[in-house]
Amino acid sequence: MPSIHVKKRQVGAKIVYYGPGLSGKSANLRFICNNIGQENRGKLIALTVTGADGLYIDVLPVRFGKVKGFGVTYNLCTVPGQAMCNTARRLVLKGADGVVFVADSRKNRMAANLDSLENLQENLERNDLSLEHVPHVIQYNWRNAPDALPLAELRATLNHHGVLEFEANAVNGEGVMDTLEAIVDIVRNDIEERL
């Protein structure tokens, strides 16, 4: 649910990048941060997950235009992919206005993708949301890997709701901005309906 500040004419929305560990969630945010002008973004912050050394939640505020005269800030957030961080993942998802599911295209990562997708659905339900009703897109990252699964197989296994999907290589930025633009458009339309 977006936060609306009527006096300031500002709306805050949260878009969560969700997926298994090392699928490319943080790489997406780093590329976005390095390729959006400073006037349209805040600082990329990495918050340490309590009790999990070396694991972080990344947060990057970005600004794109207005909705009905309100400026909109989209807070892009990543979740830690490791199973031991489920409480942190659930907290980051709370109040999410949109989700980018970052799947790992490599053959040996399909089980991790399925576990993460199931975990996403469970955590949304614990926050009184459902994947069916939360604006989301799927990004198939690691498309450059020699063992990347065929797109048709990934689609059949992971895209249960027929949402927009993107092939990507987040390290070099392929597909990253297309994914971001799509989820921002979907969330913006959802916000416009609510205002």
Spell out the CATH class of 3-194.
alpha beta
10-residue mean pLDDT series, the chain (195 residues):
83 97 96 96 90 80 92 96 84 95 98 97 94 96 98 98 98 98 96 84
Q: State residue 36's pLDDT score.
A: 96
Q: State residue 49's pLDDT score.
A: 80
- Domain ranges for the chain: 3-194
Q: State residue 54's pLDDT score.
A: 62
Q: State residue 51's pLDDT score.
A: 66
Three-state SS sequence of the chain: CCEEECCCCEEEEEEEEECCCCCCHHHHHHHHHHHCCHHHECCCEEEECCCCCCCEEEEEEEEEEEECCEEEEEEEEECCCCHHHHHHHHHHHCCCCEEEEEEECEHHHHHHHHHHHHHHHHHHHHCCCCCCCCCEEEEEECCCCCCECCHHHHHHHHCCCCCCEEECECCCCECHHHHHHHHHHHHHHHHHHHC
Task: Report the residue count for the chain.
Answer: 195
Q: Are 45 and 37 in contact (CB under 8 A)?
A: no
pTM of the complete model = 0.96
